[in-house]
Structure 1
Amino acid sequence: MKKEYFEPTQESGAALFKRNIGGEVVMLNLLRLRDVADYSNNPELSPESPISGKEAFKNYIDHTLPFLQRSGGELLLLGEGGKYFIGPSDEKWDLVMLVKQSSVQNFFSFASDPECMAGIGHRTAAIADSRLLPIVENAAAT
């Protein structure tokens, strides 16, 4: 059975801190969406009638973007995914998102802001599976 991923673990958070990233970080998000959003964990955010995972994720972006921008971050790209050109042929991602944050500390501040977290239920309702990869520019490659 294939494992799905929704949230970071304590271990993955500690590992990110241990990388001692000194500047900007770009978060590569790969997102697989539900056909119908599942608000069972956050009924207070549930719309009156069912919506798609894509619509629920748009609600999440609309809620979250001002907090991201206030924390020094920016949404670089939100694009439609698909099947890999190089990679497992049976795997696809509906959305690809690149989010740049000025620092890991600012990323964690943004991700733990209580007002921002009030809308996380839209993301939870939307996502069937996800991956999040922190990327740092490699000075040797530039």
Structure 2
Amino acid sequence: MSSTNTTSYLEPTQEAGRQFMQRDFAGPVVMLNLLRFRDVADYSSHPELAPAMPISGAQAYERYIEHTLPFLRASGGEILFLGEAGHFLIGPADERWDLVMLVRQASAGAFLSFVSDTGYLAGLGHRSAAVEDSRLLPLSELPFSAAMADTARL
């Protein structure tokens, strides 16, 4: 965790939700997820999901993904990338992330339908138990021209 920032971000705010809706995405939405896990999962808010023995935050997040995948796929979504993270090459030296994930949804509407599905919500406690801090950045794809491709090689 950053020594200058002790705030954890686990849920969207009303203002962030309003801004997301105002973006008026045209086409697919890709969600960039940065996740930092608890050493030991905290199921105190969701005891009904707690395993018999303590598990790590990473293990709890694996349970969250297993629970979530059928609902994600049913909504037309997919995980594009799942990778181990660490410290930034460019960014705050004292900030690290355990996992990076890119999730694509067909549209903002499909994303909202997915995150409001009662079946999906029933397993959301695994995520809460697992995650110490997170970031979620909605992205929309831009056309990639040949000129941009040349610039991207810099």
Query: What TM-score does the superposition give when structure 2 sets the normalisation length?
Result: 0.90
Could you tell me which residue of structure 2 aligns to residue 12 of structure 1? 16
Q: How many residues align?
A: 141
Alignment counterpart, residue 100 of structure 1, candidates 100, 104, 109:
104
Runs of 4+ in 1 over 4 A off after TM superposition: none
SS at match of 2:98: strand
After superposition, the C-alpha distances for 1:103-129 in whole angstroms (9 at most, x for unaligned) are 000001000101100000000000000
1:57 pairs with 2:57: no
Alignment of 1:79-90 (within 5 A): 79-90=83-94
1:70 pairs with 2:71: no
Displacement of 1:94 in angstroms is: 0.2
Displacement of 1:36 in angstroms is: 0.3
After superposition, the C-alpha distances for 1:16-70 in whole angstroms (9 at most, x for unaligned) are 1101101001000000000000000000000000000000000000000010000
SS at match of 1:107: helix
Could you tell me which residue of structure 2 aligns to residue 32 of structure 1? 36
Larger Rg: 2
Tell me which amino acid in the other structure corresponds to 2:67: H
Displacement of 1:82 in angstroms is: 0.2
Aligned-residue CA RMSD (Å)? 0.8
Alignment counterpart, residue 124 of structure 2, candidates 95, 117, 120:
120
Tell me which amino acid in the other structure corresponds to 1:59: R
Tell me which amino acid in the other structure corresponds to 2:49: L
Tell me which amino acid in the other structure corresponds to 2:121: M
Structure 2 portions without partners, runs of 5+: 146-154
Identity of aligned residues (%): 59
Could you tell me which residue of structure 2 aligns to residue 133 of structure 1? 137
Structure 1 portions without partners, runs of 5+: none
Could you tell me which residue of structure 1 aligns to residue 6 of structure 2? 2
Tell me which amino acid in the other structure corresponds to 2:61: F
Displacement of 1:10 in angstroms is: 1.2
SS at match of 1:115: helix
1:44 pairs with 2:45: no
